[in-house]
Amino acid sequence: MKDYVREFIPPILLRGVQGLRSHVVALRPIKSDGSEQDLDIYWDPKMAEMLDHWGEGNAWNDIQLLMAGRKGRVLDIACGTGRTMELLKSNPDLEVHGCDISNMLIEKAIARGIPKERLLVTDAMAMSYPDQLFDWAYSIGSLEHFTADGIEKFLKECRRVARYGSFHMIPVSRSNADEGWIKTFQSYHNNGTAWWDKKCRAVYEKVEILDSSWTDRMSLGKWLICLSS
């Protein structure tokens, strides 16, 4: 399995120390029951400003490597202001589309110059795209913010709309223990790799977890590589 994936996926560079939650390292995490996702934050202009910069030098390098050499139609799920889509424009073999639950963030992506016809306001747990419209899908720093039930719905939607597979950058606790649903700037799951592997294998047959170059004081970045059979 590892040999198959490593032939299919370029290696990830293991460097970088920036990230969205680096802006809030002073906040003490608070555990909650994980029954409700934070949504209001996606209409906060301060969040939009953060999304324009947080992946520089780490996650945005990762996704460019993951998509290198690929062809076809790609979906950026929870695309935010479209910054990652903008970076992938340098690959002429990719037709990159994006979706987000926030119309405010989508409007900022349009203002950035992303073609309006490639953007859609939709819920990642019930995307309004036809089956297998895309070849690939990816998300960066998004999947961990969904409830446990929402994660499964998110991954099932990825499997439905992207024929070959999907890639998801998420945080894994530095202890590799399941620390649960916690809240700093925003609620998220800070669990171990086994927890995430189980979630992915409930939907995909082929799963590999690779290192990301993103990190913060509480978590290490990982990429969930989910491939359809």
What confidence score (pLDDT) does residue 14 get? 29
Q: What are the tens digits of pLDDT across the range 41-56?
A: 899 999 899 999 999 9
How far apart CA 224 and CA 77 sit, in angstroms, is 14
What confidence score (pLDDT) does residue 35 get? 59
What confidence score (pLDDT) does residue 185 get? 76
Of 45, 15, 49, 76, the C-alpha closest to 221 is 15
The neighbouring-strand residues paired with 98 are: 76, 119
What confidence score (pLDDT) does residue 3 get? 44
Q: What are the tens digits of pLDDT across the range 101-144?
A: 999 999 999 999 999 999 999 999 999 999 999 999 999 999 99
SS (H, E, C) 134-177: EEEEEEECCHHHCCHHHHHHHHHHHHHHEEEEEEEEEEEECCCC
How far apart CA 196 and CA 178 sit, in angstroms, is 10
Residue 18 gets which letter from DSSP? Answer: -
**82 and 61 Cβ atoms separated by less than 8 Å:** no
Q: Read out DSSP for 67-103?
A: HTT--EEEEEET-TTSHHHHHHTT-TTEEEEEEES-H
Q: Which residues of 159-198 are buried (b: 16+ CB within 10 A; e: fewer)?
A: bbbbbebbbbbbbbbeeeeebebbebbbbbbbbbeebbee
What confidence score (pLDDT) does residue 184 get? 81
Positions in the chain whose pLDDT score sits under 70: 1-35
How far apart CA 65 and CA 22 sit, in angstroms, is 23
What confidence score (pLDDT) does residue 37 get? 81
What confidence score (pLDDT) does residue 190 get? 96
Domain boundary assignment for the chain: 2-227
* pTM for this model (two decimals): 0.86
Give the homologous superfamily in CATH for domain 2-227.
Vaccinia Virus protein VP39 (3.40.50.150)
- Residue whose tokens read 């198959």: 4
